[in-house]
């Protein structure tokens, strides 16, 4: 079963994403910070990541920059989630290396379809 890393500092967001992905037969690992995400990525293989942009200390943009600069994770499919609804943020997220961008509140079916597409493409 594929594993998706969820990086979301709000517990409710973690729960919603976990529930959504488990219905699609996708296992999840949820963490609340970029620092925790980097530790998980050092220790465990994941197939994709869903990352909130507004994280404490290190934000999602900085996290994806770290992911892209690490040869072991550089190709990891990453999806940005944000409550910010500006085109500048979307451009910035895609420029640093996110593969897709979703604004909150998310459309669960669209997000699930995007993740499934990324997992299939990454095989």
Q: How far apart are CA 25 and CA 35, in angstroms?
A: 27
| DSSP run (H or E) holding 27 | strand 27-31
Q: pLDDT tens across 34-87, in order?
A: 999 999 999 999 999 999 999 999 999 999 999 999 999 999 999 999 988 787
Which token pair is 60?
A: 């999602």
pLDDT at 88 over 70: yes
- Tokens representing residue 95 in the block: 């420029």
Instruction: Name the residue ranges covered by the structural domains of the chain.
Output: 3-121
The predicted model scores a pTM of 0.95
Q: Are 37 and 7 in contact (CB under 8 A)?
A: yes
CATH topology of domain 3-121: Rossmann fold (3.40.50)
């Amino acid at each position: 079963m594929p594993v998706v890393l969820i990086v979301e500092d709000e517990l409710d967001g973690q729960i919603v994403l976990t529930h959504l992905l488990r219905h699609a037969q996708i296992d999840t690992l949820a963490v609340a910070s970029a620092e925790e995400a980097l530790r998980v990525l050092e220790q465990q293989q994941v197939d994709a990541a869903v990352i909130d942009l507004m994280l404490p200390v290190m934000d999602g943009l900085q996290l994806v920059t770290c992911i892209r600069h690490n040869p072991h994770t550089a190709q990891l499919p990453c999806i940005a989630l944000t409550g910010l609804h500006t085109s500048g943020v979307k451009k910035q997220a895609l420029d640093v290396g996110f593969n897709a961008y979703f604004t909150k509140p998310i459309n669960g079916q669209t997000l699930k379809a995007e993740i499934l597409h990324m997992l299939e493409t990454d095989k």
